[in-house]
Amino acid sequence: FPHFSDAGARKCQRASDGTLFIAGGFVSRGHLNSFYHYEPISGHLTELPPMPHSAAGFALMMAPQDLIIIAGGRSGQKYLKTVTTYDRKSASWASWPDLPEERGRADGDVVVMDDGGGGYLVYIFGGFNEDKGYFGDILVMNRGVVGVEFQSERWERVRFAGNFAVNGHLSTAVVGDGRVLILESSGKSWVYDWEKQ
């Protein structure tokens, strides 16, 4: 695995081709805006154009068409509500609409819809900031999915039938058929299914 000159926590996401993207993080000198692409087979590490801002504790997701999404996080003493995307094909960064509130420690997932149109839903689960504590909510943005109740190109809160009382860090994974497994550091777990909420 690549060696970094400064030890610290960084965020990593696997791409569809098996390579890894390593973004931001926190080291002794502060928050980072570094962004790397790592090829495990060759061991080759490439430094990419840096993130638009330094941050750690953000949600990092991989969307179709090799689009990387970074949402929220913390930079210095501030929590963030910014959402930025990296287009692997053009090697460029762009902005999406902000989250409704600043939040770090959230997790996110992309659910690709099998509707033939290439659309997908982007979810943000939970999070934390100093003013509100832990968020027990789920946000979604509809990116081109037809026939769902979610409006396009904006964040909105979704209904969740489970008792989503969050008191810790979350980790999520898409487990098939649009369902998302949500694990909390305290040991609690939920399954979110957008079709049944």
| Alpha-carbon 61 to chain mean position | 4
Q: Judge whether residue 1 has pLDDT over 60.
A: no
Would you state the pLDDT for residue 4? 67
Express each pLDDT in 5-41 by its tens digit: 665 678 899 998 999 999 999 988 899 999 999 999 9
DSSP-derived 3-state class of residue 127? coil
Record the pTM: 0.90
- Look at the chain and count its residues: 197
User: Cα separation of 156 and 159, whole Å?
Assistant: 10
Name the CA radius of gyration of the chain, rounded. Answer: 16
Express each pLDDT in 37-75 by its tens digit: 999 999 999 999 999 999 999 999 999 988 999 999 999
Express each pLDDT in 69-128 by its tens digit: 999 999 999 999 999 999 999 999 999 999 999 999 989 999 887 666 778 999 999 899
Q: Report the largest interatomic distance among the alpha carbons of the chain, rounded to a whole angstrom.
A: 49
Express each pLDDT in 141-187 by its tens digit: 999 888 788 878 899 998 776 667 777 788 899 887 778 999 988 88
